[in-house]
Structure 1
């Protein structure tokens, strides 16, 4: 009697299934757990509450690293407009200044779209190590890839591009980015503490403007402005979305770590130099600083071949561990990273990703919503 085709298939497949069940999986088909030195970020952390407690410890360490306890008392803004022009009939660009210390004023370009439908999102755009950095950020000089104020005003953002405190109008007598005079005035503070504090005051400026939605403020930057972005977002919870482009390496796994506490020119953290020379790293590293941004949105864009490649590869492990913190907070969608091979650049695709990230996190949902095509007969 002929067996049915389904029955024959069942008989034939049973031995094969049994063999498959008993087969030892090759090692390459297994998924090993990735372990790295960055795992200390969440060591002993099992819940969101555990993380909140750890975060308080890390925030204190971060403020100590900045020397935040040595910052001066914040003066009234005393905002002054020095120049006012309209660009292409699309936005107003103003050259402004405001007080950051009792005897110091910061300068910045401020851009405001001419046609706004209600209060607009705003962005602090930070330039890199360039003598006339804010002019470049405004699109007036040098590389237009870094003209963030111009690009973003055309996308509907109010933008402030502050000038770094040792460049432009405040270039020291010793030359651009020389911090010797700063440390003579503030021997216990740090250059990173100084620029982070000033960038926080730039947020004050934005929040003082009637055209800005104070709850929708972001920050972005390249190079010095890139790590300045996450230093700011970790420092000031008013930053709701941030993006770092090519923002330097960290303390650990960095053969050039002494550069963070060098004894000449631009000295980031002068107080840590003695420890670095002894091989001692600070009690907080960059994965812990960036994790302070969670649950707010953060995007890291970096070149795998930007500098020391083995160190940059560690950046990927670092970011994967930071993702664990965002998972704990229930918002994994608020962390992103993109790694490319374009070295120290902010190329077209990087800019589009960064600007899209800002749109997704600072604009209303309908601004990034897609739609199906409606056939003409149904219109």
Structure 2
């Protein structure tokens, strides 16, 4: 079956699937029809739990090796945390936060936490995508504040090159490595907090934040529930260097795509949110059934779900957020009674703060003295070989 499908793709699509001159799979790497055929090829590689787990281990190793994660500095703790501008809001607290990712490089963001701090809480990582205003936008503030009022500690953090994370440009060749490492460090920080229950950790992001969501979930089982939004696609591999700029999908002995990477979440709970106006338009017919079969192998078919919104576009809008609220409420044991009414989820209690009020390093504050400056300085410090 594998050989037959590869021959068909080579002849009719003029695309030598297993022997391309580059190991990078960028953007619309396959057509939708090619991707559907490739999903059949992937499915032919396994037919029971042991054979799936063998494939899953190869895919996971491909991510780690492709990102060169094992070459990153050996750091435990040492967050050198900076917290400023604590603001008490309606049922939640917002803090401006920076933690050190590795010596000289800082992750900037905001920490949203419940006003009631008398117990341990679930924690949720909130990476953002390439949509306008990034972590400062209303849809990020809304989802973080609502989750905090539901009882979660939420860390919304900048993509590299955006917001306050301007030590490098977003087009740095190792953007995928930096963002994945940053996510891992945010996770390290959250589980180190005495107010966080390490058995109730979630992650969610839309678009490029969705990519960060399923990559971290695939390689770190401390994530207990995952909601990648408008990003998991069989044919689209991400259009930015931060999503497809390093060889995580392909090596000299394997090929995969973001569907299988997302499936590495199994058997932990996962919600796929898709829409009808982007590369997730086929999720109910192509991507979701494949992932369902993986979960069924574990006897956990009920733990994966898809909310498909055919009339909606590529965003993390209100209906997508409400699906996520429901999912995390159930699997992370959050209390949604404070944000529910007869009309559904309420977000009108959220105060949308100005960008300047959310910054860690404003015009009156000094940055750490050990900052690395520029792509070359960071690449030299990490000594990453992309050849």
The answer, yes or no, to whether TM exceeds 0.5 is yes
Compared with structure 1, are the counterparts of its residues 57 and 347 closer, same or farther at alpha carbon in structure 2 (3 Å cutoff)? same
The worse-fitting range, judged by mean Cα deviation, of 39-48 and 92-101 is 39-48
- Choose 347-356 or 46-55, whichever is displaced more: 46-55
Q: Deviations over 1:44-77 (max 9, x none)?
A: 4333233222222221112223232343333621
Name the SS for the 1:333 alignment partner: helix
- Given the alignment, which residue of 209, 226, 229 partners 1:242? 226
**1:274-297 deviation per Cα after TM superposition (whole angstroms, max 9, x unaligned):** x99xxx997221122111111111
3-state SS of paired residue (1:167): coil
Per-residue deviation, residues 177-232 of structure 1 (Å, max 9, x unmatched) = 6323xx4xxxxxx3222211111111111111111101100001111111211111
**Which structure is richer in relative contact order (CA contacts within 8 A, separation 6 or more)?**
2
Which one of the candidate residues 159, 162, 169 is aligned to 1:167? 162
1:197-236 alignment to 2 at 5 Å? 197-236=181-220
Cα pair distance change 1:293/1:346, threshold 3 Å: same
Aligned to 2:273: 301
- Could you tell me how far 1:249 is from its partner in structure 2? 3.9
CA distance in 2, matches of 1:169, 1:322: 36
Tell me whether 1:195 sits opposite 2:179 in the alignment.
yes
Deviation at 1:157, TM superposition (A): 1.1
Q: TM-score, normalised by structure 1?
A: 0.71
**Cα deviation, residue 85, structure 1:** 1.4
Q: What count of residue pairs does the alignment treat as equivalent?
A: 300
Structure 2 CA distance for aligned equivalents of residues 146 and 115 of structure 1: 19
Q: Residues 41 and 321 of structure 1 are in contact (CA less than 8 Å); yes or no, is this contact kept in structure 2?
A: no
Contact 1:191–1:269 under 8 Å retained in 2: no
Q: Could you give the per-residue CA deviations for residues 149-191 of structure 1, whole angstroms, max 9, x where no partner exists?
A: 1121121111111111211112257xxx6323xx4xxxxxx32
Q: Distance in 2 between matches of 1:170 and 1:348?
A: 27
Check 1:272–1:145 CA distance in 2 against 1; reply closer, same or farther (3 A cut): closer
Q: Which has the higher helix share?
A: 1
Listed as ranges, the gaps of 5+ residues in structure 1 are 1-34, 137-142, 184-189, 261-265, 368-379
Provide the TM-score with structure 2 as the length reference: 0.69
The 8 Å contact of residues 93 and 112 in structure 2, kept in 1 or not, is answered as yes
Tell me, what secondary structure is at the counterpart of 1:169? coil
Residue 51 (structure 1) aligns with: 52
Structure 1 residue aligned with 2:262, among 272, 286, 290? Answer: 290
What 5-or-longer segments of structure 2 have no aligned partner? 1-35, 338-387
1:1-379 → structure 2 map (5 Å cutoff):
36-74=37-75, 76-88=78-90, 90-116=91-117, 118-130=119-131, 132-136=133-137, 143-144=138-139, 147-171=142-166, 178-180=170-172, 183=173, 190-247=174-231, 249-250=233-234, 253-254=235-236, 259-260=239-240, 266=241, 268-272=243-247, 283-306=255-278, 312-313=281-282, 316-340=285-309, 341-363=311-333
Instruction: Select the structure of larger CA radius of gyration.
Output: 1
Q: Using the alignment, how far apart are the partners of 2:295 and 2:103 within structure 1?
A: 39
CA distance in 1, matches of 2:82, 2:187: 16
